[in-house]
Amino acid sequence: MASTYTPIATTTVSGTSTTTVTFSSIPSTYTDLVLISNSGSSTASDLNFELNSDQGDKYSWTTLGGNGTSAGSTRYSSQTYSGRLNWYAYQSTSNYSLVNIAHFMNYSNSTTYKTILSRSNNSALGTDAVVNLYRSTSAITQIKLLLASNWYFLSGSTFTLYGITAA
């Protein structure tokens, strides 16, 4: 049976020292990428991403989210170091309760800026829909997930990268 989601790579964290998770040498043969994260962190933390080792001010994002009491929207522009895949729904320190699904649209083209659509969910904290823009026309060949400061991803956190090919 043909696959729609073609697995590219997966990382399952072990130990207490993993502060970043990196997918390198991403093949350019797909149309879109999908990154599925099910994770927790040593300290409650956002799930940030860096593309192609680029720490320039090329990242911006708009969020729509709610926490069961209030809902809202926020926006960040011209951010350095990384984009962000969540707002209300961040990583907790137990139970791998963050589920994040991020779509990197048309990631391998070399003519347009790159759009990333994500859904972030933590049932104890909230749920978000986030759109990121990476203002670079370079093809995405590396995705690094990172935490603030020297915190680490909880052992057992999983990160899987899939490729989707247009017909």
Partner 1 sequence: MLWGYTNQTNNNANTFSNTEIYIPNYTSSNYKSVSSDSVQEANDTTNNNMWLLAGLWSNTGAITQIDIGADDTSSSYNFLQYSTFTLYGIKNS
Instruction: Find the part of the chain contacting partner 1 (CB under 8 A) among 5-13, 16-24, 41-49, 77-85.
Output: 5-13
Query: Which residue, 54 or 61, is less far from partner 1 as judged by CB?
Result: 61
Output the DSSP codes for the chain. ---SSEEEEEEE--SS---EEEE-S--S-SSEEEEEEEE-BSS-B--EEEETT--SS-EEEEEEEE-SS-EEEEEEEEESS-EES-SSS-B-SSTT-EEEEEEEETTT-SSS-EEEEEEEEETTTEEEEEEEEE---SPP--EEEE-STT--BPTT-EEEEEEE---
Instruction: Find the part of the chain contacting partner 1 (CB under 8 A) among 25-33, 48-56, 125-133, 136-144.
Output: 125-133
What part of residues 133-152 is at the interface with partner 1 (CB under 8 A)?
Answer: none
With tokens 């139970």, the residue in question is: 95
Query: Which residue, 52 or 118, is less far from partner 1 as judged by CB?
Result: 118
Least distance CB 38 / partner 1 (angstroms): 4
What part of residues 82-111 is at the interface with partner 1 (CB under 8 A)?
Answer: 89, 95-99, 101
Query: Which residue, 27 or 156, is less far from partner 1 as judged by CB?
Result: 156
Least distance CB 142 / partner 1 (angstroms): 19
Please report whether residue 115 would count as binding partner 1 according to CB under 8 A: no
> Site residues (CB under 8 A) for partner 1?
3, 5, 7, 10, 36, 38, 64-66, 89, 95-99, 101, 119, 121-129, 156, 158, 160, 162
